[in-house]
């Protein structure tokens, strides 16, 4: 019987992958915007809990699908689950200093 070697998936890999995902209206990635609340990894399954800048965002389906598709490209990931939550609500305070600078906000 052939041994199966599965890649060890790290949260760092997932966060790096998610830095390639953007809100189409904001030129900053979802991680730096502070929209990613939690990453859970169980074997080859990755779950992401995230929010959006506004509850009425019409792009929520597209954004969450992009996040899921990008996670599935991480080596070793077989399943990905993306949950959009509204608590705690997002605020600009969650943004990284780099994101604030890029958007011309005073830090």
Residue 58 has pLDDT above 70, yes or no: yes
Q: State the Cα–Cα distance between residues 35 and 25, nearest whole angstrom.
A: 14
- CA dist 85 and 88 (Å) reads 8
Residues 24-32 have a mean pLDDT of 93
Q: Do residues 96 and 34 make contact, with C-beta atoms less than 8 angstroms apart? A: yes
- Inside any domain, residue 95: no
Q: Is residue 2 part of a domain?
A: no
Asked if residue 96 belongs to a domain, the reply is: no
* Domain with 65 in it: 11-90
Q: Name the token pair of 44.
A: 């080859």
pLDDT tens profile 35-57:
999 999 999 999 999 999 988 88
Query: Are β-strands 36-42 and 79-84 bridged in parallel, bridged antiparallel, or unpaired?
Result: unpaired
Q: Is 33 among the domain residues?
A: yes
CATH code (residue 70): 3.30.300.130
Whether the predicted pLDDT of 3 surpasses 60 = no
Task: Give the pLDDT score at 2.
Answer: 46
The total of structural domains in the chain comes to 1
pTM of the model: 0.89
pLDDT digits (tens, 9 = 90+) for 5-16: 567 999 999 999
Contact 68, 34 (CB under 8 A): no
């Amino acid at each position: 019987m052939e041994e199966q070697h599965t890649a060890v998936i790290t949260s760092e890999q997932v966060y790096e992958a998610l830095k390639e995902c953007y809100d189409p209206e904001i030129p900053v990635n979802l991680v730096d915007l502070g929209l990613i609340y939690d990453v859970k990894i169980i074997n080859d399954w990755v779950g992401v809990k995230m929010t959006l800048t506004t509850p009425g965002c019409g792009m929520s389906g597209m954004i969450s699908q992009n996040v899921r598709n990008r996670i599935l490209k991480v080596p070793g990931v077989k399943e990905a689950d993306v949950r959009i939550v509204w608590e705690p609500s997002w605020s600009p305070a969650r943004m990284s200093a780099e994101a604030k600078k890029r958007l011309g906000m005073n830090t």
